[in-house]
Amino acid sequence: MKFDMSDVRVRWMLYRYHNRSHNGEIWLALQTVKGIVLMERTGERPHGSKLLGEIRTRIVEGEYVDDIIPLQQRSPAELARMHEQAMAHRRYRAELYSSYSLTGRIANLKNKYTTCH
């Protein structure tokens, strides 16, 4: 199942997903009365929502390609490996965030937009 990229709410949810997900996490796509909701598998599902499947993200020709696939069966060993991978990715992001000062981020943003052609 493909996402409706013409819907600004879907694009916003995918933007949040890409910025909040960690390698190894399983995220679900749910249909609610307000639209599609994307959430990590361990979260509490909104009341009355319908499970559409899990999100699969691939990079094809340098672009993110997201789609919804049926829930996958995973062994306990695979789930444990994926959980450890997600925890390692969270630690890595936390380390990056703490080592990158706010003044450094602002300086990089200024350089990014002053060097554009």
Nearest-angstrom CA–CA distance, 2 and 90: 28
pLDDT digits (tens, 9 = 90+) for 82-108: 999 999 998 988 888 888 788 887 887
Cβ atoms of 47 and 113 within 8 Å: the answer is no
pTM: 0.69
Average pLDDT estimate for 63-81: 91
Nearest-angstrom CA–CA distance, 114 and 117: 8
Average pLDDT estimate for 21-26: 87
